[in-house]
Chains A and B, each alone.
Chain A
């Protein structure tokens, strides 16, 4: 397989996949070496970002996916009423923030931190598949434990959870009393 052909195939795989394709999976399908796949992916990402095209290839949830470029969102949204980002309330963002850093976590523990009943917002986030049930806590009542999903990573453009600033970094920001950038 020629290099150009391999690149075209990789592009086709990313386009056709309903969710982010992992590098390993591309290697399995094409029979290429992992290192070669990595090079090709890097080239593709760079080419898309430098070309005057409406699409981009990005890393998300440890894989690669193809989306429209953000600068064209107004045009894309004109196409149909259903093409628009779904809004998350501050309550939802706050709950996701708590779960992202404290998972696995129970509903009660989330409420402790937020100081407010969180059952409604938790249900919404589960329905939207941004959160998932990851098990049960081994305490009385065996309450459900929640964690973030792959959807969550994709939704916020994260490759994995370590893309979020560490709690220590937040401590520093707050200790300095500095304004967030």
Chain B
């Protein structure tokens, strides 16, 4: 049977520099002295995880991966013997400058976000929204893809430590997972991401759940929020009616019967 893969394209994606900064800032690493081997490893781990999830890993991610590996190799080479030459440039310097510049603009965009939060609540006469989208909660910021993937990784790791006696390959219905998620954040209104993921049994089920979650976000049926950057992720139903045809189709392609 043909097993076509779904590629999830996410608009909340902010790029490879964002991923790198995320790794550096969450671990409180000195940006002027990046432990390049460790960071390269973590960066590649993240890319692999994204690929495993069939996320669309854009070419830009690979460019930065290549840059990291290049820097790593340059740092491993012994310094040339001549002392007369001017101080050798740190191979990390160019990337650090890029990251710092990027971070500056990220800060600016936070300022813009705050200004917009106030202005967005005022309307001139005859105002009409160009295309109605989901209302935003001023008190929360939207979780980005990396926060989601990082949370997913945490649950995945705890799961891998659990003994598993499953031998038969299992397939889980994405549609059923989506319905489960909608029920969870519908009933309690808020469910945390960890909560939802922790309810899943084996790895395949966890992956199905995460994919269903991403698809629901794409469709606008749910949104992920956190009260602060790197904080706990909360899933909220937007109340939008969505049809799960795409997931049903995918289930059929994968040979999953509805139970």
**Which residues from chain A sit less than 8 Å from chain B, CB to CB?**
15, 56, 58, 65-71, 73, 76-77, 80-91, 93-94, 96-98, 100-101, 113-117, 128, 155-158, 164-165, 167, 170-171, 173-174, 180
Contacts and interface: CB of A to CB of B under 8 A. Distances in A.
A180 B100 contact: no
Contacts of A170: 104, 107-108
Contact of B109 (A82, A97, A128): A97
Contact of A70 (B121, B128, B134): B121
B71 to A, nearest CB: 15
Contacts of B64: 115
A86 B17 contact: no
A68 B126 CA distance: 11
Contact of B125 (A15, A58, A88, A101): A15
Instruction: Give 4 nearest A-B pairs by CB, closest first.
Output: A85-B120, A116-B15, A97-B108, A73-B121
A68 B123 CA distance: 5
B70 to A, nearest CB: 16
Contacts of A68: 122-123
B12 A165 contact: no
B17 A73 contact: no
Contact of A89 (B11, B100, B105, B135): B11
Nearest to A72: B121
A98 B129 CA distance: 25
B252 interface: no
B102 A114 contact: yes
B223 to A, nearest CB: 10
Contact of A81 (B102, B112, B132): B132
Interface string B1-30: 000000000011111111000000000000
B110 interface: yes
Interface string B103-141: 111111111110110111111110111111111100000
Contacts of A80: 128
A171 B111 contact: no
Nearest to A157: B119
A77 B105 CA distance: 32
A181 to B, nearest CB: 10
Contacts of B17: 114-116
B122 A88 contact: no
B107 A173 contact: yes
B15 A70 contact: no
Given A155-B119, A165-B111, A77 B144 contact: no
A81 B134 CA distance: 10
A97 B105 contact: yes
Nearest to B113: A93
Given A66-B125, A115-B64, A180-B110, 5 more contacts: A66-B124, A67-B124, A85-B129, A93-B116, A100-B112
Contacts of A100: 108, 112
A82 B123 contact: no
21 contacts: A15-B125, A68-B123, A73-B123, A76-B123, A82-B132, A83-B127, A84-B135, A85-B119, A85-B129, A87-B134, A87-B136, A91-B12, A97-B108, A113-B105, A114-B17, A114-B105, A115-B16, A128-B130, A156-B116, A157-B118, A164-B111
A131 to B, nearest CB: 13
A70 B122 contact: yes
